[in-house]
Chains A and B, each alone.
Chain A
Amino acid sequence: MRVLVTGAGGHLGRRVVDRLESAGHDVVGLSRRPGPRAGWIACDLASEGDLARAAPSWGAIEVVAHLAAHVPEDTARNAPEDFHATRRANALGTAALLHALAVAPELRAVVYASTFEVYGPPSRCPIDEAHPTLPQSYYGASKLAGEKYLSLFAADRRLPCASLRFPAIYGRGDPVRRALGNFIRAAAAGEDLVIHGDGLDRRDLVEAGDAAEAVVLSIERRADGVFNVGTGRGFTIREMAEAVQKVGGGTSRLVHRDRVRPRVDFALDASKAHAILGWAPRVPLEEGIRDQLEGVRSGAASS
């Protein structure tokens, strides 16, 4: 099967490409910057010129895994430049890609990487797919717009199209600065692990390999609609810190500081993904942390 993967050089994309290739699929990688791999196409989706140049070289694409996105370093900050960057890359980039796919006659399915940030303040925990969507970040709003464009595309082309709503995706090479990654970087540097508040806030996490598996299963099963991909219960910030401390085996201590944000518990109910995709998280937290920590120690994720 010929699969177009956007964001192929990213944290999630690299793993999706590896899995698809080992399953014998023919992968065409798209990445914003040239050169992660020979034969991949450099393309900024929001640029009309880039897309027009790239589309003829895709060939007869049968499946698209649309994983490319702009993720601001701190999505809660909502800086004006985050609005412009996410509007361009995520809302417009997705619309432009779908428009370009209007002329892909062999196309049979699209899978889109979305985010838990489409939900906004949780009114229940865990959150299921029917929960209202009131994003609190420009990033979440832009990813939701991408989901909505994909729904129009699915109805128009009568194709199965899936939006996978991921929580934070961790694992070796995780570039994002948030709780778990910060703990891991601190542990690697022999620094203390700082918890703001009591650390009982719950967050969901998915290891990058497990996340990639959800994308591959969605492709294979021709999934249609919106799917949460998460653990269903998440981990408390304290559990994350303790796991990092244990795996790190060093001298890092847990240190409590004042809370900076009000307490929010957040986990994604993935029973739909379990029932329809046959997906379940497989990598235990400590194992995922060990891998990411090794990556940091060997300098693979110095970013």
Chain B
Amino acid sequence: MRIAVAGGAGFLGRHVVRRLLEGGDEVTTLDGRPPVRPLPGERTVVCDLSASAAPAAARVAEEVEGVVWLAATIRQRTRVDETAREDLELMAGGPVAFLGALARPPRALVYLSSIQVYGAPRRLPVEEEHPTDPITAYGVAKLYAEHVLRIASVRIGVRFVALRPSFVYGPGQHPGNVIPIFIDAVRRGESPKIFGTGREIRDDVHVDDVARAIELALRRPAEGAFNVASGEPHTLLEVAEAICRLGPPGMKPNIVGGVSGWLDRWFSVDRARSALGFEPRRGFEEGLRGMWAGEGA
């Protein structure tokens, strides 16, 4: 398949592009910056993907059969400020304008949404029918994008899938996230610090599993919104302990205490299982071992 990956130079993008190339697809990466390490066979176009520029990007992409939209801002503001404009233009305006400007409609559009569309979970595990009440401006833009892309896809005749990944971890992840922070601490011989009680429930999904879910969404005849998660929730203490076990013997997390404000999160993947044939494969311990060993992004 000829596939355009918008935002293909980012953390998840690198894993997606590599997987698609390995599967024999022709991949065009569209991104505002070039990939640090281009992959063999990858075609790269550096371009602006916001609403006003996306039509030009669509013309450069030429005829594609699949579109994967990963391009996103990464900020998580709980207030409405001037950044809402960029969020909307890149995450909602961009993909709709891109889709509309393609010379021929693709067969499939896979949009990387987020579990942020749900907001504070009212029940666990969260399934796709859970109410959507985002508590971040990022979540509002992603939710809006899901709606307008669903409408645009019906209009144009494109199969549309929105994937809602939970917390994505793996090689190449931004160092400011909790798993890289813990790994870095243990590497330096320090105890990972837990702010809160350690009983906070999280659902970390390996980037390989998310990339595979994207590939499945491109190929399987499914439509709609799907959680992409580990199916295996952990407490923050369990995460820290698993990382400690990779370090020197006797390493223990340091529970600092305090109020973390964390919202317990755990997501059902039943719908992705039945409609996409998705099964989380990277076990947590194994995924962490790979990161610890510095496996390639």
Seen from chain B, the residues whose Cβ lies within 8 Å of a Cβ on chain A are 51, 78-82, 84-85, 88, 92-93, 96-97, 100, 129, 131-137, 139-141, 143-144, 147-148, 151-152, 155
Contact = CB atoms under 8 A, between A and B. Distances in A.
Nearest to B156: A80
Given A135-B151, A152-B80, A144 B144 contact: yes
A58 interface: no
B85 A152 contact: no
Contact of B148 (A48, A99, A102, A141): A141
Given A78-B155, A137-B151, A141-B148, A156 B88 contact: no
B84 A99 contact: yes
Given A96-B85, A153-B80, A145 B143 contact: yes
A136 B51 CA distance: 21
A95 B79 contact: no
A111 interface: no
Contact of A151 (B92, B133, B147, B155): B133
Interface residues of A, number: 32
A139 to B, nearest CB: 10
Contact of B84 (A80, A142, A149): A149
A143 B76 CA distance: 22
A148 B82 contact: no
Task: Give 7 nearest A-B pairs by CB, closest first.
Answer: A95-B84, A141-B147, A145-B144, A148-B140, A156-B79, A98-B80, A149-B80
Contacts of B140: 145, 148-149, 152
A142 B144 CA distance: 7
A270 interface: no
Contacts of B100: 80
A236 interface: no
A43 interface: no
B88 A91 contact: yes
Judged by DSSP, the binding face of A is helix
Given A84-B93, A135-B147, A149-B140, 7 more contacts: A95-B80, A98-B80, A99-B81, A99-B82, A99-B84, A145-B88, A151-B133
Residue with the greatest number of chain A CB neighbours at <10 A, chosen from B85, B133, B140:
B140
Judged by DSSP, the binding face of B is helix
A153 B151 contact: no
Interface in A79-101: 80, 83-84, 87, 91-92, 95-96, 98-99
A144 B133 contact: no
A141 B79 contact: no
A104 to B, nearest CB: 13
A102 B79 contact: yes
Interface in A83-142: 83-84, 87, 91-92, 95-96, 98-99, 102, 132-138, 140-142
A155 interface: yes
Nearest to A156: B79
Interface string A145-170: 10011011101100000000000000
Nearest to B137: A152
Contacts of A136: 151
A149 B80 CA distance: 7
A142 B96 CA distance: 13
B105 to A, nearest CB: 13
A162 to B, nearest CB: 15
A195 to B, nearest CB: 27
Nearest to B144: A145
Contact of A87 (B135, B148, B155): B148
A148 B134 contact: yes
A125 B190 CA distance: 60
Residue with the greatest number of chain B CB neighbours at <10 A, chosen from A138, A141, A155:
A141
A211 B133 CA distance: 26
Contacts of A151: 133-134
Contact of B79 (A87, A138, A153): A153
A95 B151 contact: no
A152 B100 CA distance: 31
Nearest to A135: B147
B93 A152 contact: no
B135 A152 contact: yes
Contacts of A83: 96, 148, 152
